Amino acid sequence: MRVKLLPSSYDVEGHVLPVQRLTSYVLDNLLAVDAGSLALGLSEFQRQHLRDIVVTHAHIDHVATLPILIDELFCSLKEPIRIHATGEVVELLERDIFNGMSYPRFSKLCNNFGPVMRYCPLPLGKPLSIAHLTITAVAVNHPVPTVGLSVADQHSTLVFGSDSAETDDIWALANQSPNLKAVLVEASYPNELEALAQRSGHLTPALLKAELKKLHTKDVQILAVGLKPSYRETIMEELSMLGDARISVMDPGKEYVF
């Protein structure tokens, strides 16, 4: 399986910077997990072929360019963009984003070929097939309704923790996953901001270390994501001080193959 964290920061010459401001992943060119920078970071091939998007939660850094992408593709879509999300997440997207005020209610609109966007229920704890991938979602611990996911193909399973403070179900899901190759897990705040991390439903490197004790599969890459740009250097230092060789910070724009 191929997975890329789409870039969301560039220097003045347009080169990708490692700083992550928004969250969206592309898997095997056909599935996205979240849509923070999706409209900005897709290749032309992906723009033409990617039609399935899992939305883990409705926070802006995870959905910012979802309306922009659908707007851009509006006339050319020959099949709808399918938004895979729990009912609670769909409710928030409809209330706050696709509400006819902030942006059009695309779920009710058609182009010459038919509907342009469709919601597909994402069940909790039950596998769902999207193309050759099997997705299983579980609730995680964040101030708004949020899911983490496992995504499996024939050979590998990846786990996406999304945004979450201490939680159990995602680690249970990881432990049950055959061929688990990597866990993408957040490390949003430095250790000194643990209180803020807990209030806002996030992890620090120290909290991440405690979470990783719940993971029984040892031979797994841990890719840290979601480092808040202002604290990036400190968080990276604290992650490396954990002395856990499995952990690295995920590189935006790099294709990881599992």
CB of 72 to Zn ion, least distance (A): 23
Pick 59 or 209: Cβ nearer Zn ion? 59
- Applying CB under 5 A, the span of 105-113, 162-170, 177-185, 242-250 interacting with Zn ion comes to 162-170
The two structure tokens encoding residue 129: 């097939």
CB of 127 to Zn ion, least distance (A): 24
Cα(184)–Cα(5) distance, rounded to whole angstroms? 10
- Applying CB under 5 A, the span of 1-9, 78-86, 155-163, 173-181 interacting with Zn ion comes to 155-163
Cβ 140 vs Cβ 161: under 8 Å = yes
Cα(161)–Cα(48) distance, rounded to whole angstroms? 28
CB of 110 to Zn ion, least distance (A): 32
CB of 13 to Zn ion, least distance (A): 27
**SS3 call for 184:** strand
Pick out residues in 41-60 that bind Zn ion (CB under 5 A): 59
Pick 127 or 143: Cβ nearer Zn ion? 143
Chain Cα centroid distance, residue 112: 31
CB of 45 to Zn ion, least distance (A): 27
CB of 143 to Zn ion, least distance (A): 8
CB of 218 to Zn ion, least distance (A): 28
Pick 52 or 163: Cβ nearer Zn ion? 163
Q: Which long-range contacts (CB under 8 A, 24 or more apart) does 172-175 make?
A: 172/138, 172/214, 173/136, 173/138, 173/148, 174/150, 174/215, 174/217, 174/220, 175/214, 175/215, 175/216, 175/217
Cα(118)–Cα(62) distance, rounded to whole angstroms? 18
Question: Could you give the string, one character per residue 163-182, with x where binding to Zn ion holds by CB under 5 A and - elsewhere?
Answer: x-------------------
Pick 77 or 187: Cβ nearer Zn ion? 187
Q: Does 61 bind Zn ion (CB under 5 A)?
A: yes
Cα(34)–Cα(97) distance, rounded to whole angstroms? 15
- Applying CB under 5 A, the span of 12-20, 94-102, 159-167, 190-198 interacting with Zn ion comes to 159-167
Pick 163 or 211: Cβ nearer Zn ion? 163
Q: How far is CA 202 from CA 20, 45, 165, 169, 227, in A?
A: 15, 34, 4, 16, 10
What one-character-per-residue DSSP string does 213-247 give?
TT----S-EEEEE---GGGHHHHHHHHHHT--TTE
Pick 51 or 59: Cβ nearer Zn ion? 59
**For the chain, what's the residue count?**
258
Pick 3 or 55: Cβ nearer Zn ion? 55
Q: What residue ranges bind Zn ion (CB under 5 A)?
A: 59, 61, 163
